[in-house]
Structure 1
Amino acid sequence: MTTQQLYQLYLQHPVISTDTRKIAAGSLFFALKGDKFDANTFAQQAIAAGAAYAVIDNPAYQLGDNYLLVADVLTALQDLARHHRRQLSIPVIGLTGTNGKTTTKELINAVLSQHFKTQATQGNLNNHIGVPLTILTIDASHQMAVIEMGANHQKEIELLCTIAQPSHGLITNVGKAHLEGFGGVEGVKKGKGELYDYLAPRPPEGGVSSPGGVTFINSDDQTLLDMAAARKLSNVVYYGTNTIDDLVSGQLIENSPLLALEYTNNKTGQSYTVKTQLTGAYNLHNILAAIAIGSYFNIPAEQINAGIEGYQPKNNRSQIVKTASNTLICDYYNANPSSMFVAIENVGKLQAPRKVLILGDMFEMGPESAAEHASVIQKALDTPVDERIFIGKDFAAAAQSIDHGLWTMGQNTCYATAEDAIAALKASPITHSTILIKGSRGMALERLVELF
């Protein structure tokens, strides 16, 4: 089964299924393999559940004409998405970065969808499977798409760019995350920079040169500016806090804990005030990115502002939860040293009668784990809060390297497991406080919420 042949069937059945528990009637089922399963074994079940065809790569499971044999199911899915993308003439905005990808993607989509019919990555389905699945949900009615691209090793963004083929792009930032897979901070920079590589002007091919794509860049981030300069990006739109060369520049005017900002469209000279449902000063540039993209596509300011003001954070990213006795900042979807630092700094700046940090282990740190956990502890100790609680074996080990005099200043506690922390918090509840809960997803810190 060639990509062209598969595409003709996709046009007749433009819904993709990969999970036999969620088979859409008349869909194409792709029998993807996982670490612990081979979905070829579920192909017959998918057909019985209503799939029109099952795409398989093991001839032993080809039981009829509606079982489509390919060399590799994942490659077939990716090639199908590439082919479909080439049929689309709409702007496709690709974005990646260490922190803030999903929030920025949601903000951009909230703004663009005020004026255009858009399609965007659902949740954080931003990998080698999620990106092609998103591309294959775009149909002729869509006017624009926003595709989030995640990575934990080099060459992954490069691969995703060949599938999504972004015409526009944005890197939120480059920081310390997935250090083990990327091979250190320079590896992260190189890996995220693969989006800039794709958007850079290209030499002539067949006598025709490509000007490259449009890149949106935070002018306050010198790392991103340097990365863009190294690639000679020529079609750049800037946003930031204080540069007249920015299409949009803005400043926070409130963070208590929800953000409000004032921004200026430097092309029109008009200024606006926007209140958001987001917390965290670190979200300022994420918001400005969405405003800049909306302005670039000539969306009226009233619609841009409505999109920003209407966006409600979810998926445990910068969410505010008010209980009877506490205000929680729930930010425990993921964590790395960069995001930990800005989240801790934000709590330090908040005006609140009592502030508490509850921080869980950061995963995928590799050889840098001990040093990075110690640096986060030090950052927390240097930040003006009333109580600090660290959870996890990595924080427990790193705490041993902290000067005892600093550790005993204030109320600081470390628990080796979340279960130990839960037992202690049940015995001595925290009340009347603003509490940051942040850690890697694997720590499952949502278990703490009911305690407050």
Structure 2
Amino acid sequence: MKLTKNDILRIPHLSALGFEEGNFIINGVSTDSRTIKPKDMFIALVGSKYDGHDFVSKAVDAGASAIVVEHKWAKLNGEMLNSIHVPKIIVENSTLALGQLALQIRKKYKIPFIAVGGSNGKTTTKEMIAQILATKYNVLKTEGNQNNQIGVPRTLFNLNAKHEVGVIEVGTNHPGEINYLCSIILPTHGIITNIGREHLEFFHSLKGVSKAEGELFEWIITNNGLLFVNFDDKYIKSLSLKARKKVTYGINARKVDIKGRILSINGNAHPLIKIMPKGKKAFEVVVRVPGLHNAQNALAAIAVGTIMKVPTSNIQRALSLFQPPENRMQVKQIAGVTVINDSYNANPDSMLASLATIKRMKSTGRKIAVLADMLELGDKEREMHALIGKSISRSKIDILLTYGTLARIIHDSSFPKEKMHFESKESLVLYLASNLRRGDIVLIKGSHGMRMDEVASSLINKLMQEAKG
């Protein structure tokens, strides 16, 4: 990554100080004074829990060659600003400046960029796409789920001349966010995994979710890009109606460009899919991640790989070796107990998908669901938690263990063979560790804010210690 003086001065700013003489190159951009290297630019971001302006001096002392600060801070700290002898950009909003700098990098490279959005499965789908494309291309991808107005620019700062394609995840919990991210990414291709009941506190309804996620398709259509359209989802199908360039795929839909058919699901809930691209030879793919919803994610990735001319054998091999991202349907077998760590996040649709997966898994023991609150559901929160509770019996769950204020509603609405509610994660883990038997399957899931990954990691550690004797 390199930014010239001209690149920097192209971003919207109120004033630029110290740029009068000579040319210089910025080799990196950092928002953390602890990671600053010589010839880096430091951007002072303002967050809910921190203010990067408190670390401007440390960044300069660490070798920052230029800084970006907000006008409000500069106005109150003029003496300090004048004492800093590196070029300075003063902006209205440093987070927007971060995005604009990333845009300058993006514009330097005329390569395909695939933006991946959707309510559920976008990180897994993004990783599947990247793994397939990486068998043929040098791929820049979003690391983890850095899919917001800070994470996306950070990914783009890693873009260089060696990259041949970008795969970028875009997330939202407020209207307008995806449109903004697209204005930085300049995606040439777009895919929305599905439309589900996410962030209802802000979007209010499925139509609201569809409108927000649909900003991706709207941007792609306006800029004459290519859509990958999940025809199994009526909302996504509707969002694509105006598209001139699109590739359709689906498992249940009939008239699509790339058709998938579930041939079987093994005892670990791994799907075997027959892929039938229009006008091409059919082939089969084994998905080594449990759940029918992951068959849908895999089909999306296969559609991208097919259009990007990745050989069939590469697609098959990439998916056969695929491992899910951290805390997303990660399966560990310890001392005869199967732990499914799906703790990264939860909404009603992803919760139902996980319960459907454990229902399909073969077990010689009991099936245990450990569920926590689903957050950001607004005035639908009681209704949605009751919905999950009522689904427990249909999911063939033997034991339900819940944690959290809202998860109490799941507990009260369900009728498994056994159920128990816990007031602390510590007591929940202790109960689990002392009551699990060989052959049991344990699903752990809840919204990110509930930090059920702590339950999963504590349980796994206790099981491993017991296994060692």
Calculate the TM-score normalised by the size of structure 2.
0.87
> What displacement does 1:382 show?
2.2
Shift of 1:34: 1.1
Query: Match for residue 226 of structure 1?
Result: 238
Tell me by how many angstroms 1:11 deviates.
8.5
1:5 and 2:5 aligned: no
SS in 1 for 2:132: helix
User: Which residue number corresponds to residue 20 of structure 1?
Assistant: 33
Deviates more, 1:90-99 or 1:63-72: 63-72
SS for the counterpart of 1:37 is coil
107-116 or 304-313: which moved more? Answer: 304-313
How far residue 13 of structure 1 moved from its aligned partner, in angstroms, is 2.3
Residue 33 (1) aligns with residue 46 (2): yes
- Please say if 1:425 is aligned against 2:462: no
For residue 338 of structure 1, what is the aligned residue in structure 2? 349
Partner of 2:16: none
Is the alpha carbon distance of 1:10 and 1:221 closer, same or farther for their aligned partners in structure 2, counting shifts above 3 Å? farther
Q: Aligned-pair distance for 1:149?
A: 0.5
> 2: CA distance between counterparts of 1:426 and 1:324?
12
Question: 1:347 maps to what in 2?
Answer: 358
Are residues 6 and 197 of structure 1, via their aligned partners in 2, closer, same or farther at CA, if it must alter by over 3 Å? closer
- What amino acid is the match of 1:69? I
**CA 1:4 to 1:314, structure 2 compared with 1: closer, same or farther past 3 Å?**
closer
Shift in Å, 1:414? 2.3
Instruction: Indicate if the aligned counterparts of 1:358 and 1:389 stay in contact, CA closer than 8 A.
Output: yes
2:14 aligns to what?
Answer: none
Specify the SS of the correspondent of 1:126.
Answer: coil
Secondary structure in 1 matching 2:289: strand
Amino acid at match of 2:177: E
- Equivalent residue pairs, number: 436
Work out whether 1:410 is the aligned partner of 2:417: yes
Aligned equivalents of 1:426, 1:103: Cα separation in 2: 29
Match of 2:451 among 440, 444, 447: 444
- Which residue of the other structure, out of 296, 309, 317, is the alignment partner of 2:328? 317
Partners of 1:76 and 1:64 lie apart in 2 by 20
Q: Which residue identity is paired with 2:84?
A: G
Distance 1:397 1:4 in 2: 53
Q: 1:228 to 1:120 in 2, by over 3 A?
A: same
Distance 1:97 1:368, change over 3 A: same
Range 87-96 or range 418-427, more displaced? 418-427
Counterpart of 2:313 in structure 1 is 302
1:223 CA drift (Å)? 2.1
Paired AA for residue 87 in structure 1: K
2:171 corresponds to which of 150, 153, 169: 150
Residue 160 (structure 1) shift = 0.9
Q: Identical aligned pairs, as a percentage? A: 32
Instruction: Report the secondary structure of 1:334's partner residue.
Output: coil
Aligned to 1:69: 89
The aligned counterpart of 1:385 is 397
Q: Please give the secondary structure, in 1, of the residue aligned with 2:240.
A: helix
SS at match of 1:359: strand
Question: Of residues 248, 261, 265 in structure 2, which corresponds to 1:254?
Answer: 265
Bigger Cα displacement from structure 2, 3-12 vs 187-196: 3-12
Structure 2 residue runs of 5 or longer lacking an equivalent are 12-18, 464-469
**Counterpart residue type for residue 378 of structure 2:** G
The amino acid of 1:233's aligned partner reads: A
Assess if the C-alpha contact under 8 Å between 1:356 and 1:386 holds in 2.
yes
Contact preservation (8 Å) 1:70, 1:76:
no
Are the counterparts in 1 of residues 343 and 452 from structure 2 also a CA contact under 8 Å? Answer: yes
1:236 is matched with: 246
Q: Tell me how far 1:446 sits from its aligned partner.
A: 2.7
2:105 maps to 1:94 = no
Post-superposition offset of 1:90: 0.6
Counterpart selection for 1:271 from 282, 297, 300: 282
Tell me what 2:466 maps to: none
Counterpart of 1:192 (choices 207, 213, 219) is 213
Secondary structure at 1:393's aligned position in 2?
A: coil
CA contact (8 A) 1:14 1:136 kept: no
Instruction: Spell out, residue by residue over 1:130-168, the C-alpha distance to the aligned partner (whole angstroms, 9 max, x if none).
Output: 112212221122111011000111111111111111110
CA contact (8 A) 1:258 1:276 kept: no
Contact conserved, 1:255 with 1:281, CA < 8 A, in 2? no
TM-score by length of 1: 0.90
Alignment partners' CA distance in 1, 2:434 and 2:271: 38
Question: Counterpart of 1:136?
Answer: 157
Q: 1:44-193 counterparts in 2 under 5 A?
A: 44-57=57-70, 58-59=73-74, 60=77, 61-62=80-81, 63-71=83-91, 72-193=93-214
| Alignment match, 2:384 | 372
Amino acid at match of 1:88: Y
Residue 290 of structure 1 corresponds to 301
Specify the code of the residue in structure 2 equivalent to 1:43.
Answer: V
Spell out, residue by residue over 1:61-117, the C-alpha distance to the aligned partner (whole angstroms, 9 max, x if none).
Answer: 423342412213222111122233233211110111110010000010001111111
Distance 1:181-1:10 versus aligned 2 partners, 3 A rule = farther
Give the gaps of 5 or more residues in structure 1: 203-209
Name the stretch that deviates more: 98-107 or 41-50: 41-50
Tell me, yes or no, if the aligned pair for 1:56 and 1:67 is still in contact at 8 Å.
no
Match of 1:225, SS state, is: helix
Q: State whether residues 92 and 145 of structure 1, in contact with CA within 8 Å, keep that contact through their aligned partners in structure 2.
A: yes
Worse-superposed segment, 46-55 or 85-94? 46-55
Q: Is the CA contact 1:335–1:438 (under 8 Å) kept in the aligned structure 2?
A: yes
Once the 2 structures are TM-superposed, how far is the Cα of residue 420 of structure 1 from its aligned partner? 3.7
1:93 aligned counterpart, secondary structure: strand
The corresponding residue for 1:205 is none
Change beyond 3 A, Cα 1:5–1:422: same
Distance in 2 separating the partners of 1:270 and 1:172 = 25
